[in-house]
Amino acid sequence: MNFFLSAKGIRARLFFTVLSLAVVPLSFGQGHIRTPLYLMPTVGVADMNGTLLEGSTYAHGPLVQVLSAEHGIHPPNQDGLPHELNEPLPNGESYIGRNISPALEQSGLFSVGLRGPRPSDSEPFFVRVYSHSSPEDSLFYADSEIMTATDYATTLLYADVGPLTNIVSLTRDTDGDGLPDWWEYQYFGDVEAIENPDELREGHRMTAREAFIAGTDPTDPDSVFFITAVAPQYSDEYTEFVWTDPEDETHSTTTKVYEVVGHILSWPTVPERLYTIEYTTNILSGSFTMLLEDEPAHVNTFTNSFSSDEAVIPRFYRARVRLSEELMP
């Protein structure tokens, strides 16, 4: 069914519809002729990493559903199934790749044909795309905006969906390794791809578990968690030094040296994590003084102030991160 892939195809469909309207009598007791309603996106649907979803006319790609929006849009439950207030519409099911050109196997495109009992112009609905061919196996989904058919002459509506979102259960952990399914799927494409989450992989400086807790990319060896900057904090007071050229006393240079009265610390943060910042003056002692404890992600800088007399004392800083309760497996 390639009717929407070319202008020629669309003209053929519209011409067929016009002929149908001309020859079908209105004596069936219906108020109007219910023409099919087709739904399709203007741009392909991409996964969590921005890659277009795969699917073809010969194999089921990720599931596409048309759901009632009479009571608004509600997230799926922990098993990925639609909320009880979002009933699937009759014939409102398709898959990525279905009813499109066989050449567009990785296009993220789909088509849904609501034939027969199509929704009226007073029945709102929306389109939901899953990351798998069944809701139960899906870890992500994306919804379109609420739509209605303007009238029965409407034969095509464009249903663009937003970026894929985690299924309601952020803590679902099928293989029980302490790493949520959505995170393993996002970075490794499989919930069982990591044999030992506490093993340091070759070329990496963080284990998979450490990367998940820190919110870094476990596939990028350069993506690590650390304090990114320790900049000096200067006072308004300064000492002025004047240098005069001994061979030409008319040439001199003045330098102002400001006192250091603190360190300005910065570190990267990601949502749903809590951060603790500590320091010590003797790194061999193992004893640290806490500066901040369990601060949320919007706090990513801190100034550790001290007197100018203490500026000569060395200070070593460390940052600690842990999961917030929402992401605890």
pLDDT, the chain, mean: 83
Say what the pLDDT of residue 329 is.
Answer: 59
User: If you ran DSSP here, which 8-state letter would residue 19 be given?
Assistant: H
CB 283 within 8 A of CB 252: no
> How far apart, in whole angstroms, are the C-alpha atoms of residue 308 and residue 243?
24
The residue among 216, 220, 259, 219 whose CA lies nearest residue 237 is 259
Say what the pLDDT of residue 66 is.
Answer: 96
Structure confidence by residue, pLDDT tens digits, 288-329: 999 999 999 999 999 999 988 888 899 999 999 999 876 665
Q: In what order do the strands lie in the sheet with 289-295?
A: 289-295, 273-280, 316-323
Q: Taking the alpha carbons of 73, 78, 84, 90 in that order, is the dihedral positive or negative?
A: positive
Per-position DSSP letters for 280-303, written without gaps between them: ES-TTT---EEEEEEE-TT--EEE
Write out the H or E segment, with its range, that includes residue 125: strand 125-130
CB 95 within 8 A of CB 106: no
Confidence band, pLDDT 50/70/90 cuts, at residue 228: very high
Q: Name every residue whose Cβ is closer than 8 Å to that of residue 17 and which is 6 or more positions away in sequence.
A: 35, 155
Structure confidence by residue, pLDDT tens digits, 137-182: 888 899 999 999 888 888 999 999 988 887 766 677 888 898 988 8
pLDDT of 6 above 50:
no
Say what the pLDDT of residue 29 is.
Answer: 38
Q: What is the mean pLDDT of residues 284-290?
A: 93
pLDDT of 89 above 90:
yes
CB 97 within 8 A of CB 85: no
Q: Is 272 left (phi over 0), alpha (psi -120 to 50) or beta?
A: left
User: If you ran DSSP here, which 8-state letter would residue 147 be given?
Assistant: B
Say what the pLDDT of residue 164 is.
Answer: 80
Q: Taking the alpha carbons of 33, 36, 42, 45 in that order, is the dihedral positive or negative?
A: positive
pLDDT of 18 above 80:
no
> How far apart, in whole angstroms, are the C-alpha atoms of residue 138 and residue 120?
30
Say what the pLDDT of residue 17 is.
Answer: 32
The residue among 49, 52, 148 whose CA lies nearest residue 96 is 52
Q: 215 is written with which tokens?
A: 């919110």
Q: What is the mean pLDDT of residues 209-226?
A: 93
SS3 for 42-86 is: CCCCECCCCCECCCCCCCCCCEEEEEECCCCCCCCCCCCCCCCCC
The residue among 173, 165, 153, 77 whose CA lies nearest residue 129 is 165
Q: What is the mean pLDDT of residues 77-106?
A: 87
Say what the pLDDT of residue 168 is.
Answer: 64
Structure confidence by residue, pLDDT tens digits, 237-260: 878 888 887 887 778 888 888 889
> How far apart, in whole angstroms, are the C-alpha atoms of residue 125 and residue 74?
12
pLDDT of 125 above 80:
yes
